[in-house]
Structure 1
Amino acid sequence: MNEVRYLFVDGYNVINSWEELRQLKDTDLEEARYKLIDMMIEYVTLKGLETYVVFDAHYVKGSFEKREKYKNINIVYTKEGESADCFIEKNIKDMAKKGVVAVVTSDYLEQRIIFQMGGIRITPSEFLSDIKNSKKTVKEKTTLKYTDKKNPLEQYIDEKTLRKLEKIRRNL
């Protein structure tokens, strides 16, 4: 099976599914959006995904589609009358021809449509678990990298030079 190349996230759907973000949303919606995006940055970088986080603005009178790029994440606010689901469906068609597309949503109808279009669905809880596991993996790798050996110099010099250095060290 091919690896996922594109990731679409139904922003408000995920915010409402994750307890921490749901609580934050009640006091500061904008901060909840930024926190979601910040939580995703390391994950999508590690996975090498072209990522779109889509927020509904279809109930906002007179709103136009707005796109931003923050680090390696494309942020989309839909236009009036267009839901995040609609935007995602419209874009999956084109991107599925170029590579595997995954969509993060808990919307059952949207999940079925994604499957029919050849995409993969990820539930918000699975996505949160993936993000946490990725952070753990990165932490473990960086910890191992820096604690592997007491003296990484051993990796870069020949044995004869190493013995001479050891002799000098002992004579000090």
Structure 2
Amino acid sequence: MSSEHPPVMLVDGYNVIGLWRHLQEMRDLQGFDIARSHLTETMVNFSAFHGYKTTLVFDAYVQATPAKAERITKNLKLYFTDHNETADTYIERQCGKYRRDPLRHLKRIIVVTSDRAQQLTAVGFGAEWLSATALEQEVEATLRSVQSRQKPQKANTNNLLGNRIDSKTKAQLAQWRNRLN
């Protein structure tokens, strides 16, 4: 994939919240907003790391509100569906656009859901499919990879100025420092 056509990831947000245990617990104890915020934060980092253009899709099916898109970062946006529209419907529409795109051979679209009918539909449109559980495992693996890269390196004390100057110079510097105090 070229950077001109980064992979697109469409995530059925409530499906993921319902299947990731820690998000289920947040949803049940603190509400959907907290679980949604946590998923959003997780996907900001994951999407940036992998260079995905991710859309977290949330049903607004029972709410009488118009569809709303909210850009979080250059790699992540939230999409709240229109009244009487499901996340599945929105994702299917995006997959249909992908299938009709004359440049689709240059592009990659990944649908994240554990809904079996949605999996079959996405694959039928030529998209890749990833279960909510597989995404969770990829997120955890990415986090471990990032953490292992960020482990503090043991300081090389040979490069410290105090270890490279002779004892006479060290004594002279100490005298000057004591006079300043």
The separation in 1 between residues aligned to 2:31 and 2:124, in whole angstroms, is 36
Query: How far, CA to CA, are the matches of 2:89 and 2:139 in structure 1?
Result: 25
Unaligned runs of 5+ in 2: 171-181
1:2-81 maps to which residues of 2 (within 5 A)? 5-26=7-28, 27-60=30-63, 62-71=64-73, 72-81=75-84
Instruction: State the alpha-carbon separation in 2 of the partners of residues 13 and 103 from structure 1.
Output: 12
Please name the residue that 2:132 is paired with. Answer: 124
Question: What is the identity, as a one-letter code, of the residue corresponding to 1:69?
Answer: R
CA distance in structure 2 between the aligned counterparts of 1:104 and 1:142, rounded to whole angstroms: 28
1:58 Cα offset (Å):
1.6
Q: Is the 8 A contact 1:6 1:95 kept in 2?
A: no
TM-score normalised per structure 2 = 0.78
Q: State the TM-score, normalized to the length of structure 1.
A: 0.82
Per-residue deviation at 1:94? 2.6
Question: Partners of 1:44 and 1:153 in 2: how far apart?
Answer: 38
Identity %: 25
Distance 1:81 1:110 in 2: 17
Structure 1 position 148, deviation (Å): 5.8
Please give the per-residue CA displacement for 1:126-164, whole angstroms capped at 9, x wherever unaligned: 111111110110111121xx416525969xxxxxxx9xx
Which structure 1 segments of 5+ residues have no match? 155-161
Deviations 1:15-44 (A, max 9, x none): 000111112112311111101111111111
Letter in structure 2 aligned against 1:58: Y
Q: 1:169 to 1:58 in 2, by over 3 A?
A: farther
From the superposition, tell whether residues 21 and 152 of structure 1 become closer, same or farther in structure 2 (CA, over 3 Å): farther
Distance in 2 of aligned mates of 1:56 and 1:149:
51
Aligned pairs, number: 159
Shift of 1:92: 1.9
- 1:118/1:151 CA distance change after superposition, 3 Å: farther
Instruction: Give the SS at the match of 2:45.
Output: helix
Correspondence 1:85 to 2:91: no
**Whole-Å separation in 2 of the counterparts to 1:111 and 1:78:** 19
Query: Are 2:18 and 2:24, in contact at CA under 8 Å, matched by a contact in 1?
Result: yes
CA shift in 2, pair 1:81/1:167, >3 Å: closer
Q: Name the counterpart of 1:157.
A: none
C-alpha change, 1:59 and 1:131, in structure 2 (3 Å) is same
Look up the match of 2:165: 168
Instruction: Tell me, in whole angstroms, the C-alpha distance in 1 between the residues paired with 2:111 and 2:93.
Output: 13
Q: How far has the Cα of 1:73 moved from its partner?
A: 1.2
Q: 1:93 deviation in Å?
A: 2.7
Which SS does the other structure have where 2:8 is aligned? strand
2:157/2:163 contact within 8 Å kept: no
Say if 1:8 and 1:166 are closer, same or farther in 2 by CA, change over 3 A.
same
